[in-house]
Every structure is written in C-alpha cells, then in structure tokens.
Amino acid sequence: EPEVTQTPSHQVTQMGQEVILRCVPISNHLYFYWYRQILGQKVEFLVSFYNNEISEKSEIFDDQFSVERPDGSNFTLKIRSTKLEDSAMYFCASETGGNQPQHFGDGTRLSIL
Amino acid sequence: AQSVTQLGSHVSVSEGALVLLRCNYSSSVPPYLFWYVQYPNQGLQLLLKYTSAATLVKGINGFEAEFKKSETSFHLTKPSAHMSDAAEYFCAVRDRGTTPLVFGKGTRLSVIA
C-alpha cells in the first residue's frame, strides 16, 4: 500500500538554525498538510497546500515557517530560525480530495537544543 | 469552530474485555469524523471514518464506531481487547473534505494480560 514518507525520522538542531523537514506524499494525492504534536499535547494543524499554494494556515504558522513543493514529489516544511518551543513531532499528511481521509507519515521528531 | 473532546486520557482494560473510547464533537455542520491510532514511534494510522453514510462504521483490527447525532458522539468500540491494541487513539473532525483535521487530545489504551 502506498505510504507517506518523511525524512529524517529525528532531527537535532541548535536554536536559531534553519531546519527543513521533508515529505514524499502518496503519488496521486493532491492535497498536502503539515501538523505538529508537542510532547504530551494534541496534534495541531499547521498548514495545507494545494495547487502549488497555501490553501489554509493556522496561527502557529507564522513568518518563521514556509512550505514548498519543489519538484512535484517532495513537500517540505522549513523553519527559518528555530526556537526551543519548536521541539515537537511533525507529521506530513496527504489526500486525494473529496470525502477521502488523510494519510499520515511516521513523523519527524525535531529536537531544538 | 469545530472541537473534539475525548473523555479519559488513559483507559486500561483486561485482555478480552470490551474496549470503549469516548469522543464527543462540536460542529456547526454535518461533520466528517475519524479515528486514528498511533503506535509508539509511529505515525497516525486511520482506523475508520464516518462521512454521512451508515451511522455504524466498521474499521480495521475489529474496531467500530457509531455516529450519534443526538449525542454528538462518535465512540470507538472493540468487543475483545488484544495486547496489540495498546496504543494512543485520536478522534478527529472536519466539516468537509480537503480541510484540516481537528484532533482530540488522545486516549492512551493499555491492555492488561
């Protein structure tokens, strides 16, 4: 069964550094999402992406965040200058559209030191 | 705005006993409802979904959920717990396709031998 693939599985970064989290959505999916889960808290929506542009974003998704689909297969989340509070598990999800569910990757655990 | 409440952050059952995980939602429109399961160090796997067809929804691994509009509930059940069911379970809602999911805080299920 096709899967959403995320790399790396764990990223350790110094505060203030830029980090890029990578996702390969399922190939025929058109809608892409990033969520995060701070340890012990609920999964929170960050941003959705369709037709090469952001379709919706949460208040968490401030100017430090950006997303890109650089080559038609990868979907990336960039954090420009990381803060301690960015430490979390980041999940990528994709879907075909309509009433179909979102499919999630295994996540990237981001640790900011 | 939509919201999801999962009653009980931790539920413990004996192997072979009934599993009941509670989820109540708030939505101004007929919702799309989902249950996801998260095993340790893994991503979110779809268990089942409700999208306004049958009110009793069957999912994978013997789980099912019943949509009750009058109670705004979508509780997850399994007749007989297995050790492999130990995981974190998340209820999620959205008001239509291709929109972000709103998650509950999750319920950790422990199964005792």
Q: Which residue of A has its CA nearest to B46?
A: A103
> Does the distance separating the beta carbons of A43 and B103 come in below 8 Å?
yes
> Which H, E and C letters describe B31-53, residue by residue?
CEEEEEEECCCCCEEEEEEECCC
- List pLDDT tens digits, range B61-73: 999 999 999 999 9
Band of the pLDDT at A74, cuts 50, 70, 90? very high
Give the SS3 label for residue B62.
helix
Task: Quote the minimal CA–CA distance from B5 to chain A in Å.
Answer: 11
Looking from the CA of B71 toward its CB, the CA atoms found within 13 Å total 10
Predicted confidence at residue B53, as pLDDT, reads 74
CB of A65 within 8 Å of a chain B CB? The answer is no
User: Which portions of chain B are predicted below pLDDT 50?
Assistant: none
DSSP A102: P
State how far the Cα of A50 lies from the Cα of B26, in Å rounded to an integer. 26
Pairing assessment for the beta strands B10-14 and B107-112 based on DSSP bridges: parallel
Instruction: Round the average pLDDT of chain A to a whole number and report it.
Output: 94
Predicted confidence at residue B80, as pLDDT, reads 97
Give the SS3 label for residue B84.
helix
- List pLDDT tens digits, range A13-63: 999 999 999 999 999 899 999 999 999 888 999 999 999 999 999 999 999
- Of A77 and B51, which is predicted with more confidence? A77
Task: Quote the minimal CA–CA distance from A69 to chain B in Å.
Answer: 18
End-to-end CA distance of chain A: 37
Candidates B42, B46, B99; nearest CB to A106: B42
State how far the Cα of A17 lies from the Cα of A35, in Å rounded to an integer. 20
Predicted confidence at residue B76, as pLDDT, reads 98
